[in-house]
A and B are shown apart, each in its own frame.
Chain A
């Protein structure tokens, strides 16, 4: 039986986080009343001319620098012609032969290790408006607020070999565009959309099979399921001796299947040609240098630095660098904790992320400041509170009960390290449990745990555990060994 290999390339449309549209000064804010953010240029009224937004070009340059791609010093816009009511000009302004970003690559983590995925190109284009069906019988409603919103289309080479790899790539890119502040990454609002080119071929073959393009993938789960479904469909067809027809397919999430949207036979002839309304864009070396100077430390470099500088595991460093605000929080927290980096990483990936998940909050909605959480680590480290009661302080911080020191004072959580007080508690417990003391002294060492627990209970959890242990053993005397 033939073993099949899945071959996937992704086209991602990232909506750029500019204030205004790519060719007009209308706002791009999401959720406005229909057509209140569609100006004369977006409506394609006669005589209007597009003027390119510097912010959109700058964001494309940022992506190009992050993926190590050459930035074309001269870049050209082209018209892609087709008719649809939500595209009033009758063409979309896009880029064809000379995109801003050409090349580059992205390193992804897969089940079998790291893998470099080549990127073909990233070009700027404008989004279309929205068609609303079913608003009135026999009519289609048009909202042009989205018309002219800047998109960066990022096209990968067909280097992905499974649905899981495609998802890993999409997630890495999703993190990157948010890290670079060029896209808000909101998939529900359509700010990050994927199309997948899927084909299959016998393992060992070096030629590509006929591909189908799947559109409408607006979540990582749908991306994975659609590729799995589509690969199975193609393999079944081939095993039955049929051929694959090159076509565009739509993923239907309700039925978990893909279906034909349009076939190659009635393929669009987009008649691309350079847009005479727009001159070539020239990007100077100085502009690129300025942009580079303004770039944040890239996530994979920061991850390596967290491992090298703080001795974190690569796994923890990976979690902490999945979102930029998280990495920044971590480093601020380490400072506030007096350099207890590993404890900070443990508390962040443990208590803090668990609490955020429980409350279904994004990291940016975290109610505890890095300074306060770092201070709590410091208080645990210096013995002011025990590690166990530190968790009580954490809960109180989360509930907004005040600062770390206020909570420790108000709730009386300060750890007891006064040997006189601990000694008194030990004497009390030894008097209360003579049978257990005798058993311990007769050689039953397990009884020590019971007695430690009783003293800890008597201290309401506040006794310094190490000190308690040492003092208890001393006061009990050595157990005798029968043999």
Chain B
């Protein structure tokens, strides 16, 4: 599998990254290099092998359903570029 320039621009658009034509060509080469590696790995027969989620045989630990986090709005909103009346503000989004 390899990507053409259109694919690169589409991925960039999905990721909301502005990519110039020159950059797209460079990225195309780099990404296709990664795909070459993936192709090599896909040659391995994995029939009947369960996908590995973690290097050790562990599973998700669960949290009890108890409130542990309290209101820190003032602290968090001090980090935001724009906030007022308890809301974060972003440039208008039109659906």
Cα distance, A245 to B52, chains bound together (Å): 40
Number of interface residues of B (CB under 8 A): 34
A136 touches B84 (CB 8 A): yes
Binds B, one of A3-11, A33-41, A292-300, A392-400: A33-41
A36 touches B71 (CB 8 A): yes
Give every chain A residue within 8 A of B85 (Cβ-Cβ): 34, 135, 141
Give every chain A residue within 8 A of B22 (Cβ-Cβ): none
Number of interface residues of A (CB under 8 A): 52
Q: Chain A nearest CB: distance from B20 CB in Å? A: 21
Contact A25-B68, Cβ < 8 Å, known A35-B73, A54-B62, A84-B93: yes
A54 touches B89 (CB 8 A): no
Cα distance, A41 to B63, chains bound together (Å): 14
Give every chain A residue within 8 A of B63 (Cβ-Cβ): 25, 51-54
Cα distance, A333 to B16, chains bound together (Å): 63
Cα distance, A57 to B87, chains bound together (Å): 31
Q: Identify the closest chain A residue to B82 (Cβ).
A: A139
Is A132 close to B, CB under 8 A?
yes
Interface residues of A in 4-26 (CB under 8 A from B): 18-20, 24-26
A143 touches B71 (CB 8 A): no
Cα distance, A76 to B50, chains bound together (Å): 13
Cα distance, A51 to B91, chains bound together (Å): 31
B67 touches A57 (CB 8 A): no
Q: Identify the closest chain B residue to A142 (Cβ).
A: B88
Contact A139-B90, Cβ < 8 Å, known A20-B65, A39-B69: yes
A281 touches B60 (CB 8 A): yes
SS class, residues of chain B in contact with chain A: loop
Give every chain A residue within 8 A of B95 (Cβ-Cβ): 261
A279 touches B67 (CB 8 A): no
Is B45 close to A, CB under 8 A?
no
Contact mask A25-51 → B, CB, 8 Å, 1/0? 111000001111111110101000001
Contact A282-B60, Cβ < 8 Å, known A140-B89, A142-B87: yes
Is B77 close to A, CB under 8 A?
yes
Give every chain B residue within 8 A of A40 (Cβ-Cβ): 69, 72, 76
Q: Chain A nearest CB: distance from B46 CB in Å? A: 16
Contact A52-B91, Cβ < 8 Å, known A40-B76, A43-B76: no
Give every chain B residue within 8 A of A318 (Cβ-Cβ): none
Cα distance, A285 to B14, chains bound together (Å): 41
A279 touches B72 (CB 8 A): no
Is B41 close to A, CB under 8 A?
no
Is A55 close to B, CB under 8 A?
yes
Is A144 close to B, CB under 8 A?
yes
Give every chain B residue within 8 A of A279 (Cβ-Cβ): 53-54, 58-61
A54 touches B65 (CB 8 A): yes
Cα distance, A18 to B66, chains bound together (Å): 9
Cα distance, A132 to B83, chains bound together (Å): 13
Neighbour of A141 across the interface among B51, B69, B71, B89, CB < 8 A: B89
Contact mask A80-95 → B, CB, 8 Å, 1/0? 0101110000000000
Is A131 close to B, CB under 8 A?
yes
Is A138 close to B, CB under 8 A?
yes
A139 touches B92 (CB 8 A): yes
Is B64 close to A, CB under 8 A?
yes
A282 touches B59 (CB 8 A): yes
Is B86 close to A, CB under 8 A?
yes
A19 touches B76 (CB 8 A): no
Cα distance, A317 to B86, chains bound together (Å): 49
Q: Chain A nearest CB: distance from B21 CB in Å? A: 22
Is A271 close to B, CB under 8 A?
yes
Is A356 close to B, CB under 8 A?
no
Give every chain B residue within 8 A of A143 (Cβ-Cβ): 86-87
Give every chain A residue within 8 A of B88 (Cβ-Cβ): 35, 85, 141-142, 144
Contact A25-B53, Cβ < 8 Å, known A135-B87, A271-B14: no
Q: Chain A nearest CB: distance from B75 CB in Å? A: 10
A274 touches B53 (CB 8 A): yes
Q: Identify the closest chain B residue to A274 (Cβ).
A: B53
Cα distance, A84 to B93, chains bound together (Å): 9
Cα distance, A159 to B54, chains bound together (Å): 39
Give every chain B residue within 8 A of A19 (Cβ-Cβ): 65-67
Q: Chain B nearest CB: distance from A46 CB in Å? A: 11
Cα distance, A138 to B93, chains bound together (Å): 9
Is A278 close to B, CB under 8 A?
yes
Other CB < 8 Å A-B pairs besides A52-B60, A140-B91, A279-B61, 19 of them?
Answer: A20-B65, A20-B68, A36-B71, A36-B86, A37-B71, A40-B69, A40-B76, A51-B61, A51-B62, A51-B63, A54-B65, A56-B65, A81-B14, A85-B93, A135-B89, A274-B53, A279-B59, A280-B60, A282-B59
B interface with A by C-beta (< 8 Å): 14, 16, 51, 53-54, 58-69, 71-73, 76-77, 82, 84-93, 95
- Listed from nearest, the 7 A-B pairs whose CB atoms lie closest are A25-B68, A55-B65, A141-B87, A39-B69, A34-B86, A54-B62, A282-B59
